[in-house]
Amino acid sequence: MSQIQEKHTTAMDLAEAAMVAKLRGDLEQASLLTRQAFENELAAAELIVNQLDAEPTRSILHRSAATLAIDCGELKIAERLIATALSGNPPEEIASELKDLFIQINLRPYLKRRGINIDDEQINALIVNS
């Protein structure tokens, strides 16, 4: 098993364990496992970052790492991962998902800078219905 695949598999196992911990109400454990999943997926993405011909694997790993970064509150890292993925040649479907993640990260700050206050329910409705 390649180092990339090994780190990705570990990340997905940890993310699944985090979901189980969250469902059980153990939010501290869920947070810890999510952080570990993020670190593993980030490591996998970094191993393939310069392999522009490794699509869709490259963009999928970056999307997954960005999603986990968002879950960990690492929004700047998530933005960097999204930009890196989009700088390659991701398939259109993955590119759309990456752009959606970027909007998810930046919509609230964008609206706030323009004096528009919006609650979580309204933000979720905008994101889900887009």
Among candidates 105, 43, 95, which has minimal Cα distance to 71?
105
* Domain edges within the chain: 3-128
Look at residue 99 and tell me whether its pLDDT is greater than 80.
yes
Q: What is the pLDDT of residue 92?
A: 97
Tell me the CA end-to-end span of the chain in Å, nearest whole number.
38
Confidence of residue 109 (pLDDT cuts 50, 70, 90): confident
Cβ atoms 78, 38 nearer than 8 A: no
- How much is the pLDDT for 112? 87
